[in-house]
Amino acid sequence: MKNILVINSGSSSLKFQLIKMPDETVLASGLVERIGQERGKLSYKSEKFSVSEETEVPNHTAGLKAVTKLLMDPENGVIKDASEISAIGHRVVHGGDKFSETIVIDAKVKATIKELFSLAPLHNPPNLTGIEVAEEIFPGAPQVGVFDTAFHRSIPSRANRYAIPNSFYEDQKIQVYGFHGTSHKYVSEKAIEYLGKENSKIISVHLGNGCSITAVQNGKSIDHSLGFGPVNGLIMGTRSGDIDQSVIFYLINQLGYTAQEVSDLLHHKSGMLGLTGYSDLRDIEAEAENGNRICQLALEMNAYRIKKYIGGYAAAMNGLDAVIFTAGIGENSDVIRALVCKEMDFLGIELNEAENGKRSKDFRDISSGKYGVKILVIPTNEELEIAKQTYDLIS
Q: Is 207 annotated in some ligand binding site?
A: yes
Q: Is 267 annotated in some ligand binding site?
A: no
Q: Is 136 annotated in some ligand binding site?
A: no
Q: Is 36 annotated in some ligand binding site?
A: no
Q: Is 281 annotated in some ligand binding site?
A: yes
Determine which one of 148, 223, 321, 334 is catalytic. 148
Q: Is 209 annotated in some ligand binding site?
A: yes
- Please, which residues have CB within 8 angstroms of residue 137's CB and are 6 or more apart in sequence? 61, 64, 65, 68, 82
242 included as an active-site residue: no
Q: Is 24 annotated in some ligand binding site?
A: no
Q: Is 331 annotated in some ligand binding site?
A: yes
Q: Is 289 annotated in some ligand binding site?
A: no
Q: Is 282 annotated in some ligand binding site?
A: yes
- Please, which residues have CB within 8 angstroms of residue 268's CB and are 6 or more apart in sequence? 238, 239
Amino acid in the structure at residue 124? N
Q: Is 352 annotated in some ligand binding site?
A: no
The annotation places the binding site at: 8, 15, 91, 206-210, 280-282, 328-332, 382
The annotation places the binding site for substrate at: 91
Which residues belong to the active site? 148
The annotation places the binding site for Mg(2+) at: 8, 382
